Structure 1
Amino acid sequence: MWAIEGATGLGAPLAARLSADGIDAVDVPARLAARVLMLSTGHGRKSDSDDAISVGIAALTAVGLRSAAVDETITALRALTDHRDDVVRTREHALSDHQPR
């Protein structure tokens, strides 16, 4: 079992890869991991090893964490939104090139 902090954000590529390989993972919200980090270390300073431990502890002790499985609908909507943003950016760039000076 894997635990991913922010599986719908920065952790999405890892969540997608694990899901494609049939590996189960849970999504640990960043706030929960930060709370565990603060309580366990006492200082709240971040390091990769402290972050990994806090995410693991949160995954083992928290109840009701969501599965990090990839939601195909969200993936499709993200792709459409990204495409729309690209089209709008291209249009704005084209319009700005043709403005009278």
Structure 2
Amino acid sequence: MDAEDMEPDAKEVELLSIAEALQDRIVELEDLIATEGMSNTSKSGVVHLNPAVGEARQTRAALARVIAGIQLQEDAKNPVKQRAANARWRAHNEAKRANGG
């Protein structure tokens, strides 16, 4: 954003804050996995995947969703408004065809 001389809006500031916290959590989980290993063995001898592995995967997915919400284009169009406009145009064109136009 700095390179493009763009300022984040309030929503983007919040999303960036959440993304930063998620990335910090991913680093913590990866450190835990590096320390404890990918799996552990219970007292009965059953091998289990380290729960941090799944948590790291879910946190990465959450981070991807948060980052997807950040617009990097200054004049980005609102997808909700775009769908509404397209629906209006579609209805307009169908009415026009129905009236022989």
Does TM-score exceed 0.5, indicating one fold? no
TM-score (norm 2): 0.30
How does the TM-score come out when normalised to structure 1?
A: 0.30
Larger radius of gyration: 2
